[in-house]
Amino acid sequence: MTTLLSGAMLGYGWIARHGHAPYYQHAQDVKIVAIADPTAACRERAQADFPGVRLYEDAASLLVAEKDLDFVDICTPPRWHAEYAIAALDRGLNVLCEKPLATSTAEATAMIDAAQRNHKVLLPCHTYLHAPVVRAVRQLLDDDRIGKVHLVTLQTFRNTHAKGVIDWKTDWRREFQYSGGGIAMDHGSHTFYLAFDWLGALPSAVTAQMTAQGSWDTEDAYSCTVSFPGGLLAMAHLTWTAGVRRVYYTLHGERGAITVQDDDVELALMGAPLEGGNGAVQWTYERIACPSDWMDASHIGWFGALFAKFQAALAAGEPVTQELRHAWTCVHLIESSYHSAQAGSASQPLVSVAAVVDTDTADTVA
């Protein structure tokens, strides 16, 4: 029997309306009963999308007034993620939270503490895990096609920062006070949880570099090298100043490599050594097309699978999932990247998330 979940959305801007609401409007087992947003135009759109929904100008009033909620879905800019998640968890609610989980390690730690203290689920929106092309990569790894992965590179090219709704602060991603950072904070989450998943490990150190054009107080280009135990490595390049919109990932294993360019996956497999003895081998290639709608930044096609994860965590009574441990580590890695860049790219050691997770609420490591 499916349980009907009663939910509230905190923030009803672009991702809430285009990336979450279309799923809730058609789902049989979720009902959005309340929405908070300080912007009148956003509340009007919420009313049109969910006729009869109870509207609030601020999240605190919603959390006091609504007595029968099961969960809140936080879709505000990152500045409010920790405050609202902790308030909701302390009210005994489960929380789905947009990425990045938080803007600092201290905030992320307090959020995990609140989930554990209240034994409620706090699940970050790690949307890219559910892209068809990323699922295809996971299948190739599960099928052991390239052997153990020891190196990954992740590049995200964007010609500009994504804009928020025009009715609030459309360029909030470039204002540190709302975003907590530039492209590292905005795209770093997606980048690093993929790296952790593909390497099957959590990082031990980072060295980073970044730049900013124009007068914003956040970076628009970022590159880093992330070290993992056992010599595993991830390298990332993220920019809002690219001449193309594309994701470009490579994974290198003992017996081959996987390359992802938006919707296309190439599997390269090492064969027998060629005669001549200079190290050359026979290569074979397989190509898989996985239409993933990368150009649609709402990623609405991926949200159903993400919400199913949330429901599974609720059913299992699992406050701290692998996604949450990865989200904490993403925030810590991004914050440490800023320290590295400020220190002339000096390597920054990273703390393990194990230090903040109670062992009895954690699932398996990495």
Ligand X SMILES: NC(=O)c1ccc[n+]([C@@H]2O[C@H](COP(=O)([O-])OP(=O)(O)OC[C@H]3O[C@@H](n4cnc5c(N)ncnc54)[C@H](O)[C@@H]3O)[C@@H](O)[C@H]2O)c1
Positions 273 through 302 that interact with ligand X (CB under 6 A): 299
Structure-token match 């307090």, residue found: 110
78 lines the binding site for ligand X (CB under 6 A):
yes
Q: Compare residues 168 and 307 and give the one whose CB is closer to ligand X.
A: 168
8 lines the binding site for ligand X (CB under 6 A):
no
Specify the length of the chain in residues: 366
15 lines the binding site for ligand X (CB under 6 A):
yes
Q: How far apart are CA 191 and CA 195, in angstroms?
A: 6
Number of residues forming the site for ligand X (CB under 6 A) = 30
As measured in angstroms, the least distance from the Cβ of 252 to ligand X is 26
200 lines the binding site for ligand X (CB under 6 A):
no
As measured in angstroms, the least distance from the Cβ of 155 to ligand X is 17
180 lines the binding site for ligand X (CB under 6 A):
no
36 lines the binding site for ligand X (CB under 6 A):
yes
Applying CB under 6 A, among 3, 25, 29, 38 the residue interacting with ligand X is 38
133 lines the binding site for ligand X (CB under 6 A):
no
As measured in angstroms, the least distance from the Cβ of 83 to ligand X is 8
As measured in angstroms, the least distance from the Cβ of 114 to ligand X is 18
Contact 128, 19 (CB under 8 A): no
127 lines the binding site for ligand X (CB under 6 A):
yes
56 lines the binding site for ligand X (CB under 6 A):
no
- Summarize as ranges the residues that interact with ligand X (CB under 6 A): 10-16, 19, 36-39, 42, 59, 75-78, 80, 98-99, 125, 127, 162, 164-165, 168, 172, 186, 299
